Structure 1
């Protein structure tokens, strides 16, 4: 039999209601009847119950996050007070007044935080005065991002906006980049004035974050960055000895430390090229 395509009529799909589907399938088992009844009689109640559970859960989560935030804030402050006390004992850190032309809000907040933290380390404070200072410190440390400015002021005594921005960029790179060799990190800080002090600022800021961090993945990243910066600071400690050897051997300035880092990092091709250029 020949069938002509243009004679075929395509019928629109038939719409079925759930009741019709059940009738078509002739499902009359007790379990299916019970399910149908449950869908019809408790659907709205089930939805309302789920909605109430969701609202209750969200409320409990909000309370939980409030507790987490409060605990995190307290841990930050306690860590700050401990570190400030340690720095004062190590090198007698003092806080210089901010320059009048310095209007950077981050530095102004950091200055106030240090002033309040120093005041709170006084064991002779009355309870009323301590609560008042603590309330002010709570307000200033409620937001994140103040730590690096605080440690910069504590280490350098004074810092400008450009220096703070440079430290922020370097700190983020140290956390994010886990494959850069030590010699390359050194080249990035080679032109910094007070580079040992600045690396110590980054070390303290990252160590501070690690001491209050509770997320495992972030803990791993911070710990890895801390190790990299510790290694960098260790080799920067060889700088004076390298400068002395450069004078004795009449080598160009600022070449021996970089060469030493390349040797330790096993960058042999680069090292051979450097050796051929040195007047040995």
Structure 2
């Protein structure tokens, strides 16, 4: 009797709970029902775990945001109270701290309320319950956008007409939101039309500096570049404004008139002699005899202006060439 060798292909194993089917592709083994149940339970368990992780992560993010808010509030309150202490040491500051609250419709109503709270905090700092209540009120007021401009506006002006700081607030908000996309000359033209411009620029400078100084360390780098860019523009503008006033004083012109001429020249991609002639002819009260002196001083001014004022070096050189050779 001949013994046949066992061939796995022709003798598939059989076991309880297993089944098979033959075919061109070979044997397909079906898992037992218990294994399928375990796999389903494992999948559900994994889903629950993922949901738990997502919930914990969301809670952690909220906790981190809350912690950042607490740190930011504490930093802003600390810097604000420094301002209050400084005011309390000067007669004008004392008068402002003790002034009655303005009408609720006043642009400075919120800032005046903050000063009142600051004054009360100095008085009741050693009373934990009073201090907690006052700090909570202060924190709520600081949640509203634009309070920094209102505060420094009140300190600078004392009082102003309604909406007089609207443009300053708008520019401040754009600055801290990193939305400022205007070119430098357009930005300068925008600011140059402000009434009480120099004082409003100082208000904006102080508000931006306060915001930058009260940012948490973790966020300071994120907003630092945007705020520094605005501070740099403001300082450039103040410098240009002073130089234009000097040119105006020497030529019998208002500094603002010189400033508008400078901005008009820089705002053109290319300066033509004919265009400059027309502008000079319409520049009152500059007489034809005064024009050479004005152009000479304008040339010196453009030589002193930083590169940031120009589109590029080519524009700067072309303007200087036209001014220098105007009578050639």
Same fold by TM (over 0.5)? Answer: yes
Match status 1:181 vs 2:179: no
Q: Could you state the TM-score of these two structures normalised by the residue count of structure 2?
A: 0.60
Q: 1:71: how far off?
A: 0.5
Distance 1:274 1:134, change over 3 A: farther
- RCO higher in structure (CA 8 A, sep ≥6): 1
Q: State the Cα deviation string for residues 117-164 of structure 1 (Å, max 9, x = none).
A: 3554x5xx5643476246324323331412221111111111333113
2:138 aligned to which of 137, 140, 156: 140
- CA change 1:157–1:127 in 2 (3 A) is closer
Distance across 2 between alignment mates of 1:274 and 1:85: 54
The CA deviation at 1:179 is 4.6
Matches within 5 A, 1:73-112: 73-83=73-83, 93=93, 95=96, 97=100, 99-100=102-103, 103-104=105-106, 107-112=108-113
- The answer to whether residue 55 in structure 2 is matched with residue 55 in structure 1 is yes
Whole-angstrom CA distance in 1 between matches of 2:61 and 2:41: 32
Of the three residues 231, 245, 250, the one matched with 1:245 is: 250
Q: 1:135 to 1:126 in 2, by over 3 A?
A: closer
- C-alpha separation between the residues in 2 aligned to 1:46 and 1:246? 81
1:198-237 maps to which residues of 2 (within 5 A)?
198-213=200-215, 214=219, 216-237=221-242
Counterpart in the other structure of 1:167:
168
Q: Provide the TM-score with structure 1 as the length reference.
A: 0.69
Q: Does residue 117 of structure 1 match 2:118? A: yes
Contact 1:72/1:212 (CA < 8 Å) preserved in 2? Answer: yes
1:190 aligns with 2:192: yes
| Unmatched runs of 5 consecutive residues or more in structure 2 | 1-19, 281-286, 292-328
For 2:117 and 2:272, locate their aligned partners in 1 and report how far apart those are by CA, in whole Å.
50
1:246–1:256 CA contact under 8 A, matched in 2:
no
CA gap of 1:274–1:53, structure 2 versus 1, over 3 A, is same
- Tell me the alpha carbon deviations over residues 69-117 of structure 1, each in whole angstroms, 9 at most, x when there is no partner: 11110111122233555678799555265544x514x632211112333
Task: Supply the RMSD in Å over aligned alpha carbons.
Answer: 4.1
Query: How many residues are aligned here?
Result: 249
C-alpha contact 2:148 2:207 (8 A) present in aligned 1: yes
SS at match of 1:128: coil
User: What CA deviation, in whole Å up to 9, does each residue of 1:195-238 have, x standing for no partner?
Assistant: 11101111111122222331544322122111111211233334
Q: Is the 8 A contact 1:110 1:149 kept in 2?
A: yes
| Structure-2 change in CA distance of 1:243 and 1:98 (3 Å) | farther
- Structure-2 change in CA distance of 1:137 and 1:211 (3 Å): same
Secondary structure, aligned partner of 1:41: helix
Unaligned runs of 5+ in 1: 1-19
The separation in 1 between residues aligned to 2:270 and 2:172, in whole angstroms, is 29
In the other structure, the counterpart of 1:149 is: 150
Is the Cα–Cα contact under 8 Å of residues 210 and 219 in structure 1 kept in the other structure?
A: yes
